[in-house]
Amino acid sequence: MTTAPGLNPPGLPARAVKGVVLLACCAVVILPFITIVSTSLATREQVTRSGGMVFLPDEISFAAYQAIFNGDVVTRAILVSLMVTVVGTTLSLVSTTLLAYGLSRRGSVAHKPFLMIVLFALLFTPGIIPSYLMVKSLGLIDTYWSLILPVMINAFNVIILRAFFMELPEEVIDSARIDGAGDFAILWRIVLPLSKGVLAVVALFYAVSYWNAFFSALLYLNDISMWPLQLVLRTFVVNQTQVGVDQLGVAGADLPPQEAIQMAILVLSIIPILVVYPFVQRHFTKGVLIGAVKG
């Protein structure tokens, strides 16, 4: 019995090469993260001795995290980011689901014009100046709505959900209509329970987008007290702004090293996504392949 071409198991050299490449890729991802966490837990002497970044600390210190949570700036920024992420993700998921379901029903009112608008928005995005003028004309400057409303519906996510809804069995929906169920009843009792996987993927897409967004806050929020965590992180790390008594409320002599504070803020910005991602990771393959294979 012959084996079809291309189906032979790889030999030992090929498996060894794949293992080395996989280990190298893991090292590229894991080693910087270990360095960030280690630096946030290092003491002043260790940071000074290593020249700024510590790979493995000899002694663990939580002074940087204590300083962050004792102050108002970072703590308030974390609460702002959580609020914007939760509210924005909820509104985005609801509006995207309703729009996608309406576009998936071929008999809906103005089906094709709305679909063309969504496709146009997917291909062409507004510039910074038109977006700013629109937000300003709506009176959203220095409000948290400026971080949510302009990006509440993502055309790519609408297309993903629409493709999934169109693949649902029409027989199930038709039988529900025969039993007297309306569109909202069908959506709530039939479509949504069958779409938990793709909804989890879209919700994660939105949550990551809201959590990591900083440029919209830089444009629309002039009040520093309203800044989300990512913008505070950019100010402290990217701009190399010194984190001191005014931001943390810690005496200068007790202030942890700047590198430790900056890395601690970075760790706090990463943790929520790391916590949420494993619960929806198994849905990603399904969500990415939606609409790619018909049948």
In the chain, the domains with their CATH numbers are 77-223+284-288 (1.10.3720.10)
Could you tell me which of 85, 84, 70, 79 has the C-alpha nearest to residue 261?
70
> DSSP string covering 84-104, please?
HHHHHHHHHHHHHHHHHHHHH
Q: Can you give the pLDDT of all 295 residues of the chain as single tens digits?
A: 455 555 566 778 888 888 899 999 988 888 888 888 888 888 888 888 887 788 888 888 888 888 888 777 888 888 999 999 999 999 999 999 999 998 888 777 777 888 888 888 888 888 888 899 999 999 999 999 999 999 999 999 999 898 888 888 888 887 888 878 787 888 888 888 888 888 888 998 899 899 988 889 999 998 888 889 888 888 777 665 555 445 554 445 467 788 888 888 888 888 888 887 777 666 665 555 554 444 4
> DSSP string covering 161-226, please?
HHHHHHHS-HHHHHHHHHTT--HHHHIIIIIHHHTHHHHHHHHHHHHHHHHH--HHHHHH---GGG
pLDDT of residue 293: 45
Could you tell me which of 19, 211, 183, 210 has the C-alpha nearest to residue 98?
183
pLDDT of residue 247: 53
b/e code 138-156 from CB counts within 10 Å (16+ = b): eebeebbbbbbbbbbbbbe
Q: Are 54 and 35 in contact (CB under 8 A)?
A: yes
Is the alpha carbon torsion for 115, 188, 202, 267 positive or negative? positive
Q: Are 277 and 211 in contact (CB under 8 A)?
A: no
**How many alpha carbons fall within 13 Å on the CB side of residue 213?**
25
How distant, in Å, are the alpha carbons of 77, 218, 235, 295 from that of 73? 6, 16, 12, 53
pLDDT of residue 284: 61
CA gap 81, 166 in Å, rounded? 34
pLDDT of residue 256: 78
